A and B are shown apart, each in its own frame.
Chain A
């Protein structure tokens, strides 16, 4: 699909301009050089430097002889490169993880340490272990569960508080309050994850250890809370934007009927912006799932399931912390298993992001009156 649309776009691109032969030739040579450089880099052929030099020379000629056309072509190549980067990330993640997936099969995603029986019938043989490099056993179940639990807690924090704060900024706050809170939220978004991690590691872990008397330092509960605070700004900004897209005329209509501001918000503005607000929550969930450093340094990162499963004070591992805590001394197969974790993460977050994109597009369409 991407290819055909690329071609289609390239065709329109070519048709639009009056291209003479010299420009066409130069363009072709330039593209050949660029492709050579790229292929050489990917396949490690060692031809990058001459190819890039060649490209720069062609570029120089183009700039001198056909500036407008060259600019258009170069910006087009730049656009293509963003697609290419995402494509390469996808391809390399999958390639690197194939080995582990081949080895473990579906157990990579569902394998349990003990056999799973339903009414006495074993539906899933146990692996004996979730994660043991020495016996090449890798199951992502504990990490996925950890990600699920922490994300759930984080969403419980970020979604209601974030939406409430977005309402405050978009509809309720007087000007002076908005001018304080809004930059505050943006700055909160800027605090690096490792700073949360450091505070979590040195202060909060100790606090929870002492006051909840947990068996060890670190727990899903704390990680979920911290990640929730980190996802909060995303929810607030995106939800506020979508509340802003509800036309004022609609709100005026409700107010002129004598409904209070709060009634207008709950019965007109929020329902109208519902899809945008849920997209905001989805993006917040995506951020929470992908959060790495704070979780890595707070958690103990032992691969296993909490007992019982819903023990939110469990001190186990999530997908991101699994990667960050094990990549350093991982052998080839283990590394491939970590890439499998990366694939699961990537696919989940990509799915969330694309869903929210579609929802937002739908919101705009709805409010434009169809």
Chain B
């Protein structure tokens, strides 16, 4: 970053008297954080809103005071260089960070009017409604059919257990319907309809990832979190996943982490930019972010001056 810009920022700060939310922020970074840059106005209720989310891994302060509202039925992209905490933030939204023993999350994440970090939160219910697709495809070592119906079976919505089949009261028809619907939604049906009972580990990487998306859709979530869902895939598979995500936004709230700015520009409605150290720098309409960002550093990042 050039010295002149830095000076300009300092002056701007002094004039407006604006201070960033973070108290531990130092030097240049501090000058780069402005509250108005991350305030994003939109119509309607947010699907998820976070207030001052901080994450520590031991002594490492991985996320600093993240407060954003994520609108319903749209695609929100989280971008930034690697190690900026965007995946960590995503995992805060369905409390998957609970799985990492060293991670300490503070702040509030409001979903349906409840803070999901309150004591007594039903994680099963939460994760049923906030689904997640992971960076690398992780199908279960089971048949394609069983992969899709896993969630509904575990939540008791579909019963195809041995016992029910013995008693003749199983929901195999519902299962078939669900499997077809979800696979169609994930644009995978035509490729696998003849081998639903084959092991899912035999699918190609792109197919596996679409299967994982279909699997997440099967529990009928409201929000779908995606952690670089296309990073392990080839360009053709990637474009299929991207098309899929745009379609999904009609019915679901999608939050997607990506390191590819082109991808964020193509598929998202709004974009949040995280920069190194775990700071949210700017959050706005995707067009605005990519065409005319407020922050100099965001502009530098987007134009590829620094990563």
Contacts and interface: CB of A to CB of B under 8 A. Distances in A.
State if A and B touch, Cβ cutoff 8 Å: yes
B94 interface: yes
A271 interface: yes
A250 B138 contact: yes
Contact of B216 (A250, A256, A267): A256
A255 B127 contact: yes
Interface string B135-167: 010111110000000110011000000000000
A260 B131 CA distance: 14
A268 B215 CA distance: 14
A271 B146 CA distance: 13
A367 B142 CA distance: 11
Contacts of B127: 255-258
B305 interface: no
A254 interface: yes
A258 B140 contact: no
A255 B134 contact: no
A259 B141 contact: no
A161 B151 CA distance: 29
A331 interface: no
A87 interface: no
B96 A256 contact: yes
A178 B123 CA distance: 24
B256 interface: no
A240 B136 CA distance: 25
Given A252-B99, A370-B201, A257 B215 contact: yes
A255 B99 contact: yes
B195 to A, nearest CB: 16
Contacts of A268: 140
Interface residues of B, number: 29
A267 B99 contact: no
A69 to B, nearest CB: 45
Contacts of A247: 138
A369 interface: yes
Given A253-B212, A254-B140, A260 B96 contact: no
A272 B150 CA distance: 15
Contacts of A252: 96, 99, 134, 138
Given A247-B138, A253-B140, A258 B201 contact: no
B54 to A, nearest CB: 23
A161 to B, nearest CB: 26
B150 A254 contact: yes
Contacts of B154: 257-260, 263, 267
Given A175-B101, A249-B134, A370-B201, A257 B141 contact: no
Nearest to A253: B138
Contact of A256 (B101, B132, B155, B201): B132
Contacts of A255: 96, 99, 127
A260 B126 CA distance: 11
B99 A258 contact: no
Interface in A246-290: 247-250, 252-260, 263, 267-268, 271-272
B150 A257 contact: yes
A366 interface: yes
A258 B153 CA distance: 11
A257 B134 contact: no
Contacts of B215: 253, 257
Contacts of B151: 257-259
Interface string B234-256: 00000000000000000000000
A272 B141 contact: yes
Contacts of A249: 134, 136, 138
A253 B96 CA distance: 10
Contact of A258 (B128, B134, B136, B142): B128
Interface string B60-87: 0000000000000000000000000000
Contacts of A254: 140, 150
B219 interface: yes
Contacts of A267: 150, 154
B8 interface: no
Contacts of B132: 256
**Which interface residue of B134, B136, B138, B212 has the most chain A CB atoms within 10 A?**
B138
25 contacts: A249-B134, A250-B140, A252-B134, A253-B139, A253-B215, A254-B140, A255-B96, A255-B127, A256-B131, A256-B216, A257-B127, A257-B128, A257-B131, A257-B154, A258-B123, A258-B129, A258-B154, A259-B124, A259-B151, A259-B154, A259-B155, A260-B154, A267-B154, A271-B141, A367-B141
Given A253-B140, A253-B215, A272-B141, 17 more contacts: A247-B138, A249-B136, A250-B138, A252-B96, A252-B138, A253-B134, A254-B140, A254-B150, A256-B96, A256-B131, A257-B128, A258-B125, A258-B129, A259-B150, A260-B124, A369-B201, A370-B201
